[in-house]
Amino acid sequence: MAHYNPDDPPPPYSSVVGPTQPPLQGYEEVVHGGVPGGSVWVTAPNQPYYIPQQPPPVAPPYVVQHDPPLPRRSKRPTCGNNACCYGSSGGTAFLLVLVAIAIWLGVRYGVKLVASSLDNSDDRPSVTEKDTCPSSTVQCDAQRDCDLGSDETNCVRFGPGSTLQVKNYKDGRFLPVCYQGWSESYSNQACAQLGFRKSYKTESVQSSSSTGLKLTGKTSDTIQGEVDVSPSCPGQQTVALECTNCGQQHSTSRIIGGSIAQLGQWPWQVSLHFYGSHTCGGSLVAPDFVVTAAHCFPKKTTSSLVPSNWRVYGGVVSQNRLNTPYLVQKIIINEFYDPDTNDFDIALLKLKQPVEFSNNVGPVCLPTFDQTFSPGTTCWTSGFGTTEEGAAKGSPDLMEVAVKIIDTSVCNSNMVYGGALTQNMMCAGDLSGGKDSCQGDSGGPLVCEADNRWYLVGVTSWGVGCGRRNRPGVYSNVNRLLPWIYSKMQQERP
């Protein structure tokens, strides 16, 4: 987190850079966060740094549209401005040296180390697979047609007020589910189908829809196989379902402008350690899943794709006081992630064991399918990244800062990022400078509050510098990535 006086000239920029990419003309290229195995401090006067970005995940039956590479005149994201750059978490010079040696060994011998450990399934590099489906595939008909079953994902979603909506395979509409005949067992089934293990709360809510889905009494592995279209629901009562008690804070003291966070304030915040060093942030969204950025796992550094090389720490606000880590079972990277444009900059970690929630550890809410936060809304971002541009290491304390959502058209203007943002990205910060995420914050949360709950709106991705005027942070747009997140959670559900 950075806080600068916008009237002061920006300090010289140094950044942690991942896989080497040619700098764009007139900009410094930077990545938010220390890319595993590829982090070096580089100073490139008068050259902006590039920060990788990930577009929102797209899952069948969506049509994927790739944005053309940014013209060389466009501004590229830089490590200094956003969480894309990795920050180290060492407490002493000696530890930093050890970490540097470990990372160097990972880069030089990473492939050999991985190859020698393939007999252990836990040490195999994670590979994101693309599904294969026959031409006759019918989505959401409760019949698995695709090899990985993607045709039966993205069939369940949540609308306003957590209303449960299921896709009707006959006409493709998402319809509310009638409350009549509904029971806790159905709630548990629906949440487990989405990767949440079980339900938290079920209510009956009034629906304005004239059509709904009624239970048929049939037995199926999926909710879509147990409902059918009904002209109306009795009393227009439909199901509202919550799978977790998400977005709850247990400490609310904070200071706008960048400050140390309190324990329980952002209970979904996690610290991702690669070879024993803080590298990226992430957000708990379910007992078994963490949402983070794809650029935290560069393919060129094979060892970064090995789950056993990572540790996930939750419920901590200091790198000097870490709890027992969660182990990673699988790294799931968006299939369409483009390291050159940072489009689809999102990834999901499947944990080996479910997290036990408490006052200090809890999930953030995923937004509903149509939930938006308008430009000007004050939201918050947090992380263990550097507190000033060019710093050699991240903050030992969890830092937080209030930022405002900025209209994408403004962020894509020539005065800001000149068209570098895709539809899978969003901006937040202060155009006058001073409030921003920075190196080491990559993959961490941008959260906004609604109805006394906090929602994961963005994933820290990239930016130019830290806290610079007209260089706000760029985040992966979670709302657009929801289909991908839910699809992968369902495919990898416990």
Q: Catalytic residue numbers?
A: 295, 345, 442
Structure tokens at 285: 């969204």
Three-state SS at 6: coil
Of the candidates 161, 144, 97, the one whose C-alpha atom is nearest the C-alpha of residue 369 is 161
What is the Cα gyration radius of the chain? Answer: 22
Structure tokens at 100: 């540097």
Q: Give the separation between CA 389 and CA 386, rounded to whole angstroms.
A: 7
Of the candidates 327, 367, 366, the one whose C-alpha atom is nearest the C-alpha of residue 349 is 327
Using the Cα atoms of residue 252, residue 256, residue 261 and residue 265 in order, give the sign of their dihedral.
Answer: positive
30 with 464: CB under 8 angstroms?
A: yes
Structure tokens at 468: 């610079």
Structure tokens at 405: 């959502």
CB atoms near residue 255 (< 10 Å): 10
Structure tokens at 233: 């629901």
Q: Give the separation between CA 491 and CA 330, rounded to whole angstroms.
A: 12
Structure tokens at 1: 């987190």
61 upstream amide cis, omega within 30 of 0? yes
427 with 470: CB under 8 angstroms?
A: no
User: Helix, strand, coil % (nearest 5) of the chain?
Assistant: 15, 25, 55
